[in-house]
Structure 1
Protein backbone atom coordinates (compact mmCIF):
# COMPACT_ATOMS: atom_id res chain seq x y z
CA UNK A 1 0.00 0.00 0.00
CA UNK A 2 1.34 3.39 -0.98
CA UNK A 3 2.16 5.80 1.84
CA UNK A 4 0.97 9.39 1.73
CA UNK A 5 3.42 12.18 2.56
CA UNK A 6 1.70 12.71 5.93
CA UNK A 7 1.98 9.01 6.79
CA UNK A 8 5.65 8.96 5.82
CA UNK A 9 6.34 12.03 7.95
CA UNK A 10 4.45 10.41 10.81
CA UNK A 11 6.53 7.23 10.66
CA UNK A 12 9.76 9.25 10.57
CA UNK A 13 8.74 11.39 13.56
CA UNK A 14 7.58 8.39 15.59
CA UNK A 15 10.79 6.54 14.71
CA UNK A 16 12.93 9.47 15.87
CA UNK A 17 10.96 9.62 19.11
CA UNK A 18 11.31 5.91 19.81
CA UNK A 19 15.03 5.90 19.00
CA UNK A 20 15.58 8.98 21.20
CA UNK A 21 13.76 7.30 24.07
CA UNK A 22 15.73 4.08 23.57
CA UNK A 23 19.04 5.96 23.56
CA UNK A 24 18.23 7.55 26.91
CA UNK A 25 17.26 4.16 28.35
CA UNK A 26 20.50 2.61 27.09
CA UNK A 27 22.55 5.50 28.49
CA UNK A 28 21.01 5.22 31.96
CA UNK A 29 20.40 1.49 32.30
CA UNK A 30 23.14 -0.08 30.16
CA UNK A 31 25.99 2.45 30.14
CA UNK A 32 25.41 3.20 33.81
CA UNK A 33 24.68 6.94 33.80
CA UNK A 34 22.04 6.51 36.48
CA UNK A 35 20.11 9.50 37.74
CA UNK A 36 20.21 10.36 41.47
CA UNK A 37 16.40 10.28 41.45
CA UNK A 38 15.44 7.05 39.69
CA UNK A 39 12.03 8.26 38.49
CA UNK A 40 13.82 10.87 36.36
CA UNK A 41 15.32 8.11 34.20
CA UNK A 42 11.77 7.21 33.20
CA UNK A 43 10.76 10.86 32.85
CA UNK A 44 13.61 11.58 30.42
CA UNK A 45 12.84 8.44 28.40
CA UNK A 46 9.20 9.52 28.03
CA UNK A 47 10.30 13.04 27.08
CA UNK A 48 12.47 11.57 24.32
CA UNK A 49 9.45 9.81 22.87
CA UNK A 50 7.73 13.09 21.94
CA UNK A 51 10.50 15.71 21.84
CA UNK A 52 13.03 13.50 20.07
CA UNK A 53 16.44 15.04 19.44
CA UNK A 54 15.64 18.08 21.59
CA UNK A 55 15.17 15.77 24.58
CA UNK A 56 18.47 14.00 23.81
CA UNK A 57 20.32 17.32 23.75
CA UNK A 58 18.77 18.50 27.02
CA UNK A 59 19.40 15.17 28.68
CA UNK A 60 23.07 15.05 27.72
CA UNK A 61 23.65 18.70 28.65
CA UNK A 62 21.88 18.82 32.00
CA UNK A 63 20.79 15.37 33.26
CA UNK A 64 23.72 13.11 32.35
CA UNK A 65 26.26 15.18 34.34
CA UNK A 66 24.18 14.57 37.49
CA UNK A 67 24.94 10.85 37.38
CA UNK A 68 27.62 9.46 39.75
CA UNK A 69 29.34 7.77 36.79
CA UNK A 70 29.75 11.08 34.92
CA UNK A 71 31.04 12.81 38.04
CA UNK A 72 33.56 10.06 38.69
CA UNK A 73 34.99 10.64 35.22
CA UNK A 74 34.70 14.41 34.89
CA UNK A 75 34.46 15.85 38.41
CA UNK A 76 31.81 18.27 39.56
CA UNK A 77 28.94 18.84 37.11
CA UNK A 78 28.40 22.30 35.62
CA UNK A 79 26.32 24.65 37.73
CA UNK A 80 22.67 24.42 36.75
CA UNK A 81 20.76 27.69 36.41
CA UNK A 82 17.23 28.07 37.74
CA UNK A 83 15.85 27.62 34.22
CA UNK A 84 16.97 23.99 34.37
CA UNK A 85 14.76 23.43 37.42
CA UNK A 86 11.91 24.74 35.27
CA UNK A 87 12.90 22.45 32.40
CA UNK A 88 13.05 19.45 34.73
CA UNK A 89 9.64 20.33 36.13
CA UNK A 90 8.26 20.58 32.60
CA UNK A 91 9.66 17.16 31.70
CA UNK A 92 8.05 15.73 34.82
CA UNK A 93 4.72 17.36 33.93
CA UNK A 94 5.07 16.25 30.31
CA UNK A 95 5.63 12.65 31.35
CA UNK A 96 2.35 12.76 33.32
CA UNK A 97 0.50 14.12 30.30
CA UNK A 98 2.18 11.89 27.71
CA UNK A 99 1.41 8.70 29.60
CA UNK A 100 -2.04 10.04 30.47
CA UNK A 101 -2.95 10.70 26.86
CA UNK A 102 -1.71 7.26 25.78
CA UNK A 103 -3.79 5.55 28.46
CA UNK A 104 -6.78 7.83 27.93
CA UNK A 105 -6.89 7.51 24.15
CA UNK A 106 -6.52 3.74 24.23
CA UNK A 107 -9.30 3.41 26.83
CA UNK A 108 -11.68 5.49 24.71
CA UNK A 109 -10.67 3.72 21.49
CA UNK A 110 -11.17 0.18 22.80
CA UNK A 111 -14.22 0.94 24.96
CA UNK A 112 -16.01 3.08 22.37
CA UNK A 113 -17.15 5.53 25.07
CA UNK A 114 -18.54 8.82 23.76
CA UNK A 115 -20.46 11.85 24.99
CA UNK A 116 -23.36 12.26 22.64
CA UNK A 117 -22.10 11.31 19.20
CA UNK A 118 -18.65 12.77 19.68
CA UNK A 119 -15.69 11.07 21.37
CA UNK A 120 -13.61 14.26 21.64
CA UNK A 121 -14.96 15.35 25.04
CA UNK A 122 -14.69 11.79 26.30
CA UNK A 123 -11.05 11.87 25.16
CA UNK A 124 -10.50 15.14 27.03
CA UNK A 125 -11.85 13.72 30.28
CA UNK A 126 -9.99 10.45 29.89
CA UNK A 127 -6.68 12.11 28.95
CA UNK A 128 -6.83 14.63 31.80
CA UNK A 129 -7.80 11.96 34.32
CA UNK A 130 -4.97 9.76 33.07
CA UNK A 131 -2.46 12.58 33.56
CA UNK A 132 -3.63 13.10 37.14
CA UNK A 133 -3.49 9.37 37.89
CA UNK A 134 0.04 9.13 36.49
CA UNK A 135 1.08 12.23 38.45
CA UNK A 136 -0.23 10.80 41.72
CA UNK A 137 1.51 7.49 40.96
CA UNK A 138 4.83 9.26 40.31
CA UNK A 139 4.52 11.24 43.54
CA UNK A 140 3.61 8.13 45.50
CA UNK A 141 6.56 6.16 44.11
CA UNK A 142 8.89 9.03 45.05
CA UNK A 143 7.42 9.22 48.56
CA UNK A 144 7.86 5.47 49.05
CA UNK A 145 11.53 5.73 48.12
CA UNK A 146 11.90 8.48 50.71
CA UNK A 147 10.27 6.38 53.42
CA UNK A 148 6.79 7.97 53.26
CA UNK A 149 3.94 5.81 52.02
CA UNK A 150 0.83 7.95 52.30
CA UNK A 151 -1.33 8.15 49.17
CA UNK A 152 -3.04 11.22 50.61
CA UNK A 153 0.29 13.09 50.53
CA UNK A 154 0.69 12.19 46.86
CA UNK A 155 -2.74 13.66 46.03
CA UNK A 156 -2.00 16.82 48.00
CA UNK A 157 1.39 17.28 46.31
CA UNK A 158 -0.12 16.85 42.84
CA UNK A 159 -2.91 19.33 43.61
CA UNK A 160 -0.48 21.89 45.01
CA UNK A 161 2.57 21.53 42.75
CA UNK A 162 1.43 19.90 39.49
CA UNK A 163 -2.21 20.69 38.80
CA UNK A 164 -1.70 24.19 37.34
CA UNK A 165 1.07 23.14 34.96
CA UNK A 166 -0.70 19.92 33.97
CA UNK A 167 -3.89 21.88 33.24
CA UNK A 168 -2.03 24.38 31.03
CA UNK A 169 -0.30 21.48 29.26
CA UNK A 170 -3.57 19.64 28.70
CA UNK A 171 -5.44 22.72 27.44
CA UNK A 172 -2.85 23.23 24.70
CA UNK A 173 -3.00 19.52 23.85
CA UNK A 174 -6.82 19.60 23.71
CA UNK A 175 -6.85 22.66 21.45
CA UNK A 176 -4.50 20.88 19.07
CA UNK A 177 -6.64 17.71 19.13
CA UNK A 178 -9.70 19.79 18.27
CA UNK A 179 -7.84 21.43 15.38
CA UNK A 180 -6.64 18.06 14.14
CA UNK A 181 -10.20 16.71 14.16
CA UNK A 182 -12.17 19.65 12.80
CA UNK A 183 -9.68 21.40 10.53
CA UNK A 184 -7.70 18.49 9.11
CA UNK A 185 -9.04 15.24 7.69
CA UNK A 186 -10.66 13.67 10.76
CA UNK A 187 -10.28 10.06 9.68
CA UNK A 188 -6.49 9.62 9.87
CA UNK A 189 -5.93 12.23 12.55
CA UNK A 190 -8.28 10.76 15.17
CA UNK A 191 -7.78 7.02 14.65
CA UNK A 192 -5.31 5.58 17.23
CA UNK A 193 -4.60 2.63 14.96
CA UNK A 194 -2.78 4.93 12.50
CA UNK A 195 0.69 6.52 12.76
CA UNK A 196 -0.80 9.90 11.83
CA UNK A 197 -2.80 9.95 15.06
CA UNK A 198 0.28 9.44 17.23
CA UNK A 199 2.25 11.95 15.16
CA UNK A 200 -0.45 14.52 15.92
CA UNK A 201 -0.26 13.50 19.59
CA UNK A 202 3.49 14.20 19.47
CA UNK A 203 2.79 17.67 18.11
CA UNK A 204 0.12 18.26 20.74
CA UNK A 205 2.49 17.21 23.53
CA UNK A 206 5.16 19.56 22.20
CA UNK A 207 2.56 22.37 22.18
CA UNK A 208 1.62 21.50 25.74
CA UNK A 209 5.27 21.54 26.80
CA UNK A 210 5.61 25.12 25.55
CA UNK A 211 2.25 26.22 26.99
CA UNK A 212 3.07 24.85 30.44
CA UNK A 213 6.38 26.73 30.69
CA UNK A 214 4.97 29.98 32.24
CA UNK A 215 2.93 28.06 34.84
CA UNK A 216 5.88 25.83 35.73
CA UNK A 217 8.23 28.82 35.97
CA UNK A 218 5.82 30.58 38.34
CA UNK A 219 5.47 27.46 40.51
CA UNK A 220 9.25 26.98 40.69
CA UNK A 221 9.97 30.63 41.46
CA UNK A 222 7.37 30.66 44.23
CA UNK A 223 8.85 27.49 45.72
CA UNK A 224 5.56 25.66 45.24
CA UNK A 225 6.95 23.14 42.78
CA UNK A 226 10.19 21.53 43.89
CA UNK A 227 11.50 18.96 41.43
CA UNK A 228 13.12 15.82 42.92
CA UNK A 229 16.72 16.78 42.21
CA UNK A 230 16.03 20.35 43.33
CA UNK A 231 14.73 19.41 46.74
CA UNK A 232 14.58 21.90 49.63
CA UNK A 233 18.21 21.28 50.59
CA UNK A 234 19.56 21.40 47.06
CA UNK A 235 17.88 24.39 45.48
CA UNK A 236 20.09 27.06 43.95
Structure 2
Protein backbone atom coordinates (compact mmCIF):
# COMPACT_ATOMS: atom_id res chain seq x y z
CA UNK A 1 0.00 0.00 0.00
CA UNK A 2 1.17 3.52 -0.83
CA UNK A 3 2.38 5.55 2.15
CA UNK A 4 1.27 9.17 1.84
CA UNK A 5 2.85 10.30 5.12
CA UNK A 6 4.86 13.48 4.33
CA UNK A 7 8.61 13.45 4.94
CA UNK A 8 8.46 16.43 7.29
CA UNK A 9 6.45 14.38 9.79
CA UNK A 10 9.42 12.12 10.54
CA UNK A 11 11.52 14.70 12.46
CA UNK A 12 8.39 16.00 14.17
CA UNK A 13 7.49 12.47 15.23
CA UNK A 14 10.92 11.70 16.64
CA UNK A 15 11.12 15.02 18.46
CA UNK A 16 7.79 14.35 20.16
CA UNK A 17 8.69 10.73 20.95
CA UNK A 18 11.96 11.84 22.59
CA UNK A 19 10.08 14.51 24.56
CA UNK A 20 7.50 11.91 25.62
CA UNK A 21 10.08 9.41 26.85
CA UNK A 22 11.98 12.17 28.66
CA UNK A 23 8.81 13.36 30.37
CA UNK A 24 7.94 9.80 31.39
CA UNK A 25 11.42 9.46 32.91
CA UNK A 26 11.00 12.73 34.83
CA UNK A 27 7.66 11.63 36.25
CA UNK A 28 9.09 8.24 37.18
CA UNK A 29 12.01 9.95 38.93
CA UNK A 30 9.64 12.22 40.83
CA UNK A 31 7.62 9.23 42.05
CA UNK A 32 10.40 6.75 42.78
CA UNK A 33 13.53 8.88 43.04
CA UNK A 34 11.97 11.52 45.27
CA UNK A 35 9.75 9.09 47.13
CA UNK A 36 6.39 10.62 46.22
CA UNK A 37 4.65 7.27 46.02
CA UNK A 38 0.97 6.67 45.36
CA UNK A 39 -1.46 4.27 46.96
CA UNK A 40 -0.75 1.61 44.34
CA UNK A 41 1.82 0.89 41.66
CA UNK A 42 -1.07 0.90 39.17
CA UNK A 43 -1.67 4.61 39.80
CA UNK A 44 2.01 5.36 39.39
CA UNK A 45 2.08 3.51 36.07
CA UNK A 46 -0.90 5.57 34.88
CA UNK A 47 0.98 8.82 35.46
CA UNK A 48 4.20 7.56 33.89
CA UNK A 49 2.41 6.21 30.83
CA UNK A 50 0.40 9.41 30.43
CA UNK A 51 3.59 11.02 29.19
CA UNK A 52 3.96 8.38 26.48
CA UNK A 53 1.01 9.89 24.58
CA UNK A 54 0.61 13.39 26.04
CA UNK A 55 4.34 14.07 25.87
CA UNK A 56 5.52 17.15 27.78
CA UNK A 57 1.87 18.18 28.29
CA UNK A 58 1.57 15.38 30.86
CA UNK A 59 3.99 17.02 33.27
CA UNK A 60 1.80 20.02 34.23
CA UNK A 61 -1.08 17.62 34.93
CA UNK A 62 1.16 15.43 37.04
CA UNK A 63 2.62 18.41 38.89
CA UNK A 64 -0.83 19.66 39.84
CA UNK A 65 -2.76 16.44 40.43
CA UNK A 66 -0.29 13.57 40.56
CA UNK A 67 2.56 14.83 42.70
CA UNK A 68 0.19 15.72 45.55
CA UNK A 69 -0.69 12.07 46.13
CA UNK A 70 2.14 11.01 48.41
CA UNK A 71 5.54 11.61 49.91
CA UNK A 72 6.75 14.05 52.49
CA UNK A 73 6.81 17.09 50.23
CA UNK A 74 3.12 17.66 49.59
CA UNK A 75 2.35 21.04 48.10
CA UNK A 76 0.24 23.02 50.62
CA UNK A 77 -1.77 24.67 47.84
CA UNK A 78 -2.26 21.53 45.75
CA UNK A 79 -5.98 20.82 45.18
CA UNK A 80 -7.36 17.56 46.52
CA UNK A 81 -7.56 14.85 43.91
CA UNK A 82 -11.36 14.90 44.15
CA UNK A 83 -11.24 18.36 42.58
CA UNK A 84 -9.25 17.21 39.57
CA UNK A 85 -11.03 17.66 36.23
CA UNK A 86 -13.06 14.64 35.20
CA UNK A 87 -10.84 14.32 32.13
CA UNK A 88 -7.91 13.45 34.42
CA UNK A 89 -9.85 10.42 35.63
CA UNK A 90 -9.80 9.11 32.07
CA UNK A 91 -6.01 8.80 32.08
CA UNK A 92 -6.10 5.13 33.17
CA UNK A 93 -7.79 4.37 29.84
CA UNK A 94 -5.05 6.20 27.99
CA UNK A 95 -2.39 4.37 29.97
CA UNK A 96 -4.06 1.03 29.27
CA UNK A 97 -4.07 1.82 25.55
CA UNK A 98 -0.42 2.90 25.60
CA UNK A 99 0.62 -0.35 27.29
CA UNK A 100 -1.58 -2.36 24.93
CA UNK A 101 0.08 -0.72 21.92
CA UNK A 102 3.59 -1.36 23.21
CA UNK A 103 2.78 -5.04 23.74
CA UNK A 104 0.19 -5.74 21.06
CA UNK A 105 1.67 -4.11 17.97
CA UNK A 106 5.02 -6.00 18.10
CA UNK A 107 3.14 -9.25 18.79
CA UNK A 108 0.88 -8.80 15.76
CA UNK A 109 3.76 -7.78 13.51
CA UNK A 110 5.89 -10.73 14.66
CA UNK A 111 3.03 -13.21 14.29
CA UNK A 112 2.13 -12.11 10.78
CA UNK A 113 -1.56 -12.64 11.56
CA UNK A 114 -4.09 -10.90 9.33
CA UNK A 115 -7.83 -10.74 8.81
CA UNK A 116 -8.86 -10.50 5.14
CA UNK A 117 -5.16 -9.99 4.40
CA UNK A 118 -4.90 -6.89 6.62
CA UNK A 119 -3.05 -6.90 9.95
CA UNK A 120 -4.81 -3.70 11.09
CA UNK A 121 -7.94 -5.62 12.09
CA UNK A 122 -5.85 -7.95 14.24
CA UNK A 123 -4.07 -4.98 15.83
CA UNK A 124 -7.35 -3.31 16.77
CA UNK A 125 -8.69 -6.52 18.35
CA UNK A 126 -5.48 -7.38 20.21
CA UNK A 127 -4.95 -3.83 21.46
CA UNK A 128 -8.58 -3.65 22.63
CA UNK A 129 -8.42 -6.93 24.54
CA UNK A 130 -5.10 -6.03 26.18
CA UNK A 131 -6.39 -2.57 27.13
CA UNK A 132 -9.47 -4.12 28.76
CA UNK A 133 -7.29 -6.48 30.78
CA UNK A 134 -4.96 -3.70 31.93
CA UNK A 135 -7.85 -1.40 32.84
CA UNK A 136 -9.59 -4.21 34.74
CA UNK A 137 -6.47 -4.76 36.85
CA UNK A 138 -6.25 -1.02 37.54
CA UNK A 139 -9.87 -0.82 38.69
CA UNK A 140 -9.62 -3.80 40.98
CA UNK A 141 -6.24 -2.80 42.42
CA UNK A 142 -7.05 0.81 43.17
CA UNK A 143 -10.54 0.10 44.49
CA UNK A 144 -9.24 -2.58 46.83
CA UNK A 145 -6.44 -0.36 48.14
CA UNK A 146 -8.99 2.31 49.11
CA UNK A 147 -11.45 -0.05 50.72
CA UNK A 148 -14.05 0.33 47.95
CA UNK A 149 -16.37 -2.54 47.11
CA UNK A 150 -15.98 -3.16 43.41
CA UNK A 151 -17.04 -6.57 42.18
CA UNK A 152 -15.27 -8.47 39.43
CA UNK A 153 -18.31 -7.94 37.20
CA UNK A 154 -18.43 -4.20 37.83
CA UNK A 155 -14.71 -3.80 37.15
CA UNK A 156 -14.91 -5.91 34.00
CA UNK A 157 -17.98 -4.04 32.78
CA UNK A 158 -16.33 -0.68 33.36
CA UNK A 159 -13.20 -1.80 31.52
CA UNK A 160 -15.13 -3.14 28.54
CA UNK A 161 -17.42 -0.11 28.19
CA UNK A 162 -14.57 2.34 28.62
CA UNK A 163 -12.36 0.64 26.02
CA UNK A 164 -15.23 0.33 23.53
CA UNK A 165 -15.94 4.06 23.86
CA UNK A 166 -12.22 4.76 23.68
CA UNK A 167 -11.93 2.71 20.48
CA UNK A 168 -14.41 4.95 18.70
CA UNK A 169 -11.62 7.51 18.63
CA UNK A 170 -8.56 5.26 18.61
CA UNK A 171 -9.88 2.62 16.23
CA UNK A 172 -11.56 5.23 14.07
CA UNK A 173 -8.29 7.12 13.76
CA UNK A 174 -6.42 3.96 12.75
CA UNK A 175 -9.03 3.13 10.11
CA UNK A 176 -8.95 6.69 8.79
CA UNK A 177 -5.17 6.51 8.40
CA UNK A 178 -5.30 3.08 6.81
CA UNK A 179 -7.95 3.73 4.18
CA UNK A 180 -6.41 7.08 3.24
CA UNK A 181 -2.98 5.45 2.94
CA UNK A 182 -1.43 7.44 5.78
CA UNK A 183 -0.54 4.43 7.94
CA UNK A 184 3.26 3.98 8.00
CA UNK A 185 4.90 0.66 8.97
CA UNK A 186 5.09 -0.06 12.70
CA UNK A 187 8.89 0.09 12.46
CA UNK A 188 8.82 3.84 11.78
CA UNK A 189 8.66 6.64 14.31
CA UNK A 190 5.78 8.27 12.46
CA UNK A 191 3.62 5.21 13.20
CA UNK A 192 4.07 5.60 16.95
CA UNK A 193 3.56 9.36 16.78
CA UNK A 194 0.28 8.86 14.91
CA UNK A 195 -0.75 6.27 17.50
CA UNK A 196 -0.08 8.85 20.22
CA UNK A 197 -2.53 11.15 18.46
CA UNK A 198 -4.98 8.25 18.28
CA UNK A 199 -4.80 7.68 22.03
CA UNK A 200 -5.66 11.33 22.61
CA UNK A 201 -8.61 10.92 20.22
CA UNK A 202 -9.64 7.92 22.30
CA UNK A 203 -9.55 9.99 25.48
CA UNK A 204 -11.98 12.42 23.87
CA UNK A 205 -14.49 9.80 22.73
CA UNK A 206 -14.10 7.79 25.93
CA UNK A 207 -14.66 10.77 28.24
CA UNK A 208 -18.50 10.66 28.25
CA UNK A 209 -18.47 6.97 29.20
CA UNK A 210 -15.90 7.49 31.96
CA UNK A 211 -17.92 10.40 33.37
CA UNK A 212 -21.19 8.41 33.17
CA UNK A 213 -19.74 5.34 34.87
CA UNK A 214 -18.27 7.46 37.63
CA UNK A 215 -21.60 9.21 38.25
CA UNK A 216 -23.74 6.08 37.95
CA UNK A 217 -22.06 3.65 40.32
CA UNK A 218 -18.45 4.72 40.75
CA UNK A 219 -17.17 1.80 38.73
CA UNK A 220 -14.43 4.01 37.39
CA UNK A 221 -11.89 4.59 40.12
CA UNK A 222 -10.47 8.12 39.96
CA UNK A 223 -6.77 8.74 40.19
TM-score above 0.5: yes
| Cα RMSD after superposing both structures | 2.6
Q: Scaled by the length of structure 1, what TM-score is found?
A: 0.81
1: CA distance, partners of 2:205 / 2:57: 17
| Aligned partner of 2:64 among 46, 61, 65 | 61
2:170 aligned with 1:176 = no
Matches of residues 25-104 of structure 1 in structure 2 within 5 Å? 25-71=28-74, 74-75=75-76, 77-80=78-81, 82=83, 84=85, 86-104=86-104
Unaligned 5+ runs, structure 1: 148-152, 230-236
Q: Number of matched residues?
A: 217
2: CA distance, partners of 1:77 / 1:4: 43
* Residue of structure 1 equivalent to 2:124: 124
* Residue of structure 2 equivalent to 1:227: 221
Greater mean deviation of Cα atoms: 218-227 or 121-130 = 218-227
Q: Scaled by the length of structure 2, what TM-score is found?
A: 0.86
| Aligned partner of 2:16 among 13, 17, 23 | 13
Using the TM superposition, give the Cα deviation of residue 77 of structure 1 relative to its aligned residue in structure 2, in angstroms. Answer: 4.1
1: CA distance, partners of 2:139 / 2:211: 19
Using the TM superposition, give the Cα deviation of residue 196 of structure 1 relative to its aligned residue in structure 2, in angstroms. Answer: 0.8
| Aligned partner of 1:207 among 201, 206, 215 | 201
2: CA distance, partners of 1:38 / 1:99: 14
Unaligned 5+ runs, structure 2: 1-5
Matches of residues 117-196 of structure 1 in structure 2 within 5 Å? 117-139=117-139, 141-142=141-142, 153-154=151-152, 156-186=153-183, 189=184, 191-196=185-190
* Residue of structure 2 equivalent to 1:4: 7
Question: Runs in 1 of length 4+ with deviation above 6 angstroms?
Answer: none
For the 8 Å contact 2:92–2:138, the answer to whether it is kept is no
